[in-house]
Structure 1
């Protein structure tokens, strides 16, 4: 029994696990999908080597989880002992187990070393502050939690959150995640209802945003991107594929992301499919022009996994970009959000005008007039929204 590392007990009708289950001392992965349990077996937290556990509810015959006709309601109950706190469980999947708000305090105590947690299709209304005690948790899924209204806490290492089809979750309820810029060392991807955070300096009403950078290396580590879709797209999921155009060369993301309303991703390549920058022609001492955009597909009505292309204009609301100010970086590339060549031409023109344009006495412009022209240039430059970071 000590040599058993994986155990599949799906669809077996098991209601509980006895204490003797601990004799499977070498067990690493345990699968208990679609059984008749009504309580989380406490012996799971006592397994010395268990790192992955799946206790999914619902009917999987059609290749997807259905909320109708659930035969599993999971409630965590029991008295904690010191032995429970030694659990090495890292991945816990409890999709469609109809968990309530009382789950979280006990889960924090039972499974302190979790790194990935999937609670999709549950009944809880609040993600409480105590989830911050999951010190190692980097992935959290709460898709299809229709009663979820508010997120009050965020684990310190959280980099991936998916809250798709959370119909009761409002933009205000996600504020704790979006009110402050993430730490520069975290590569985050959040998929949920919401609004583009205020700390995004650049925004574009549409499906694309342009910027210019200087150097032979693309500064993907310094750029955060946010995509906001229209508010009325909750009925059918959207899949987006990221597109990056650098000096006319189109680079497409390697995979597609499913989202509902808001996607926030730091480090432009992280969570957006990745890009093969070797195809792009970059100028070392000149400005490189880049444009970030995306294409979209929407699930067909009445079909589970059939998607069709949709026009971006029909679903796009806003796109945002933010430049992270990395204190640990010695050299930061120049990044601008207005065309530097256009501004260079405007500067040359204003210099020429201020030097040679005569006044009504047929004399060169005096100093006060030149200052006025340069002030006008500065105001025009600021109105265009130029943002230069060095």
Structure 2
């Protein structure tokens, strides 16, 4: 049974906490279990290997460390890592050089589409962490900045929806016969008055509430085109599935992996591509006040691969959480370094979103 973190703190004296911290820090640094003799040399309190073994036995009884396979050393368990992250992790500030690199890389994409910015963020996080950078972005709440119709042929037109973040949605739609260029312009202008500055869902509600106004202001043909435009916005919203961007997959796969480990990692990437479980992660992000850390089986999307993932939400120009970004890696990630990097990157993305709206 998992114990609350305060229970562990209440039963671990200063010596036990120090030994546990050394085991975790060495494991995070090397990925290898630690033996009592090595620990005895690392400790400043002058304990013999026998005394260290007694403390390690107590930590093992608590479920905080275990012997992987037949090793004589001990490594932290998933529960032990969770206790360390929640109760003992000391997170510092982002190194100034890394801050400049993050800001420079993201701001260099500011004039491009939002997806270009998010791709750059994913690549950047991969390089800084030596893990895989991941961005999960929701399209459902696009705030509209512009809408227009472009005729394709006698029976079809394209509705172009442009979001305040630069996102563009194009939808092909059937149009009534006999449409003129002025009708397309009139319908586009009418929709623009009601939808600019609103999300797709808000725009549909506003247009539905203005049906009487439509009848008084628009001729029958233009009304039909406006109705088709409303339906198109509904289709864009319903079909809006999360965008997932993963860079640095090769960092998580190496030649020393057992075949079952490779299979689990590849299955994780397949699940990310199929977007299974992503909406749940986005939902978690909306409740989060900052960085979230999932270790091993704590999140079902990453449980099979045994990975850890560090995620932070980012916001749009209206201060709404619209996605998460972060790092996927082995459970021995350098949490103290990567947590502030992920948090800072999310803040830079949110600030950039706000500037794009003002531009």
Higher strand share: 1
Q: Normalization by structure 2: what TM-score?
A: 0.22
Q: Normalization by structure 1: what TM-score?
A: 0.21
Higher helix share: 2
Per chain length, whose mean CA-contact separation is higher, i.e. which structure has more relative contact order (CA < 8 Å, sep 6+)?
A: 2
